[in-house]
Structure 1
Amino acid sequence: MLFSFCKKVIINYDRDENDIFSLLAVLLILHVFPIYFLNDKFGLDLLNWEWGIALLAGPALALLLWLYYWIFAQSRSDGAFTLLNVSYYLLLLMLGSALAFFPLYYFLRMIDKTIDWQHLNYLLIAVTLLFNVLVCLIFSLRLNFEAKKYFWAIIIAVIGLVSLVAPFILVGKVFWHRSLDLEGKIIELQNLQQELIQKRDQVNDLIKVYQEEITILSEEIRQDSRAVGVNIFNQAQNHQRIVLDLKLIQMQKAYIAKLEETNSRLQNGIYELQYLERQARIDLKIYEILPDDEVREMIFNINKTINLYMPEAKELVLEVDPAMMPSQEQIWEEIFRGE
């Protein structure tokens, strides 16, 4: 069904605006989804500035051309640079990139399951940029001679700029010594460890604050219950101050339980990062005799672990499920236990 829809819009292009914009929305999801899927599932480092440039180069160029001709070009009346045509260009770009990405990825995985993904990123980026150029060629065939001249002037300028910068980036990445890869990963592990340790200390401080507040509130409840002659929970329900203090303790105990879960995850992350750092340091000492597969697998595991624990280093958010809170009666019994 989706294939037939694509065929109708791509091959039998009839300037149906609704069809084009609908398919554009679908392909936008297909274009972005592989990046997040591979990054989360396989620990690939795809969310970086290089991929940002590769994915945005085509759409940015299309919008730049559209604005240029809309504002300055005298030939804009020929209808070549309308928002509809630019959308058609974006549609082809995203379809081509999405269709090229998955076959190339699975083909390379079949060849070598431990392939060096840090270098493979640049091959995938090159494929994406190649589709940008091919779609520019397809789009230029729809223009008149005057518009085509301006169009390719901009294309050549962009390709020339990329050609000047790309060799330095690609050569540096391809011939980057694997010992430097390990050293860089060790630094990433150390930085994330420090962030997790700081977050763990912050969590422990919050737990202490809540525990101290619970102690103060518990003493207030004891004093108030003695003052009004209350010694059972049902009677305490008639005294607003006692009820409010119990609610505060109820909420703070829920916060403490959530913080203790977070603290456990942070501590596990610190231990795992420390283990990987030690292992990487050992491998770094003997990297000259290590097989390439072991170095690649080590870097892959480090990337996957960093992506796993990176969210834990972000801002702390406490979301408490009311169903998990201890009951006020249970808190009352804990306060007066042994009296």
Structure 2
Amino acid sequence: MKSTQIRLASRPVAEPLDSDFEVATAELPEPEEGQVVLRTLHLSLDPYMRGRMSDAPSYAAPVGIGEVMVGQTVSEVVASRSERREVGDIVLAYTGWQSHAVVDARATRRLDPSAAPVSTALGVLGMPGFTAYGGLLAIGQPKAGETVVVAAAAGPVGSAVGQIAKAKGARAVGIAGGPEKCRLLLDEYGFDAAVDHRSPTLREDLAAATPDGIDVYFENVGGHVAAEVVRRFNTYARMPVCGLIAGYNGGEPMADFDRLPGFMRRVLTKSLTVRGFIQDEFVPTHWADFQREMSGWVADGTVRYREDVVDSLENAPEAFRGLLAGRNVGKLLVKVADPAGV
């Protein structure tokens, strides 16, 4: 069996270019005992992938030149040499930007298509949803009546953060790019207020949306958005740092040292808690609660979600560029194939 693969051809300097990727066809090995052959149905595109394209020191090893781009997938088992999985099973895996893969069956998790759309395992009921849940509740610890602000609020993580905050009795304020995304936050996700980060009156708009200051800021963006938010922090405010997408392509300086003394002064005088995190560190303490609570919230409509689906694996690079530029609305997925019989 052959697999169509998208590999990293070179390391991007700023925004990834077509020349930074290459499309190739590879012959798959025969599965060994305990392995399965998977056919990719959905590929998740996420901001962290930009960091994996760089060889700068980070929390995870970079993708090697010539290697398949990494990514989580929903896949169908098309051949099995494991008692754990049967042909036709739909599973969550980490097979990357390719149409087929051979993996150890123990590295997959079976999904129940009758419980929820299987694509949600890559979004609201998967890593992005858990990122929101673990980061907000473990670090942000929102209390009833407090104000929670989240950047990139129309994305899969940010939209979940705001809705979880509401479910816990807090006031949710979202920051997003453009009037359409701001309307989405208010009308569909139920945020209490929405602020357009492209507005020339961002500072005044944020002040109007947070009259009692900010108790929790879930950081996804960095850059000028963060610079305005920190001005509004209350004493003992908490800041879970999930991402800094404004600087991933080099668009906004990530090392703007002239701002550091002022920020550190606020950390001291406001007794702030600022902590970066990677979502899997919360698996031992929060995963079971996440599965129970988030599944219930999605089922009863407390938490809503959107999916932005792009057809064809070959379109993944362009869709990924759009993700980094904020052009998608909701969880960005690439539909690679339909399940057998569809």
TM-score (norm 2): 0.22
Of structures 1 and 2, the larger Rg is shown by 1
Q: Using structure 1 for the length normalisation, give the TM-score.
A: 0.22
